[in-house]
């Protein structure tokens, strides 16, 4: 009975409101970025759209902050990737003006893809080595405008709930830009909406923002150790069932 009620809620309440809010947000972002400040219009409308998505999914939200971050400072955030709602949870509750490094395929989403492009988010073709190199330059350009960057170092959503290996891209960008890395732990989106499904199961969501880590002494010799340390910090914030 519960599944039927949730299905009807998602079909007749969540989906129509979410689709309408998505279109309004995308159009607002596109117009705002073309005539005004990209940092403002590319962040605030999607932030409230993301909060709406989490609330419409009937999810209680918990945010744990181990350090107060400077809202006017650029960072590189490296969260684990549990599911589609990671984006809403981070965008809505991180409280930092951010740009995303995201898969090229997301550019094809109606309204959202074009709005993301205009807002300055960075798309990357993960199958193309040259594109991966170009990503670094594009990310640096956006970070240079005072925004922070969010990059999922695993590269893809987990299929099991367990965290995967961290790749080097986010850390290379942070080092070249002399920016601090901020590990972020996401809990809950894996249970809320499993990969390859569009039906959600309301549950608690948690965002854990860890202390920034300097990249001042980061180099090729200690890169792997640094990445593993960041991964361990993210891992430490996971709920036991995800470890």
Residue 72 sits in a domain of what CATH number?
Answer: 3.40.1130
Residue numbers of the domain that contains 111: 2-242
pLDDT of residue 128: 54
Q: How many CB atoms lie within 10 A of CB 153?
A: 24
Beta carbons within 8 Å of 142's beta carbon, 6+ residues apart? 99, 120, 121, 122, 149
Question: Residue 132: pLDDT band by 50, 70, 90 thresholds?
Answer: low
Say what the pLDDT of residue 42 is.
Answer: 93
Mean pLDDT of 80-95: 96
pLDDT, residue 28, reads: 97
Please state whether beta strands 148-150 and 205-209 pair in parallel, antiparallel, or not at all (unpaired): unpaired
What is the arrangement of strands in the sheet containing 205-209, beginning at the earlier edge strand?
61-65, 205-209, 180-187, 75-79, 148-150, 98-103, 122-124
Residue 137's pLDDT band (cuts 50, 70, 90): low
pLDDT value at position 197? 83
pLDDT in tens, 36-64: 988 899 999 999 999 999 999 999 999 99
pLDDT at 109: 85
Overall number of domains in the chain:
1
Residue 10 has pLDDT above 70, yes or no: yes
Please provide the average confidence, as pLDDT, over all residues in the chain.
Answer: 90
- Cα 219 to the chain's mean position, in Å? 26
User: What token pair was written down for 102?
Assistant: 């995201």
């Amino acid at each position: 009975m519960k599944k039927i009620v949730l299905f009807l809620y998602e079909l007749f309440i969540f989906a129509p409101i979410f689709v309408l809010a998505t279109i309004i947000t995308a159009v607002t972002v596109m117009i705002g970025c073309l005539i005004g400040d990209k940092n403002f219009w590319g962040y605030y409308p999607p932030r409230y759209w993301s909060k709406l998505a989490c609330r419409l999914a009937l999810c209680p939200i918990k945010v744990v902050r181990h350090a107060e971050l400077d809202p006017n400072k650029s960072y590189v955030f490296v969260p684990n990737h549990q599911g589609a709602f990671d984006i809403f949870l981070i965008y809505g509750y991180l409280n930092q003006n951010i740009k995303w490094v995201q898969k090229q395929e997301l550019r094809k989403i109606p309204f959202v893809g074009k709005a993301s492009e205009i807002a300055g988010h960075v798309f990357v073709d993960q199958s193309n080595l040259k594109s991966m190199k170009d990503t670094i330059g594009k990310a640096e350009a956006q970070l240079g405008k005072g925004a922070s960057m969010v990059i999922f170092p695993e590269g893809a959503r987990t299929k099991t709930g367990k965290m995967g290996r961290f790749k080097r891209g986010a850390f290379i960008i942070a080092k070249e830009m002399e920016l601090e890395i901020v590990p972020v732990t996401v809990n809950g989106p894996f249970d809320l909406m499993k990969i390859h499904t569009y039906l959600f199961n309301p549950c608690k969501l948690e965002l854990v923002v860890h202390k920034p880590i300097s990249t001042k002494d980061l180099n090729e010799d200690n890169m792997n150790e640094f990445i593993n340390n960041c991964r361990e910090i993210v891992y430490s914030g996971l709920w036991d069932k995800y470890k």
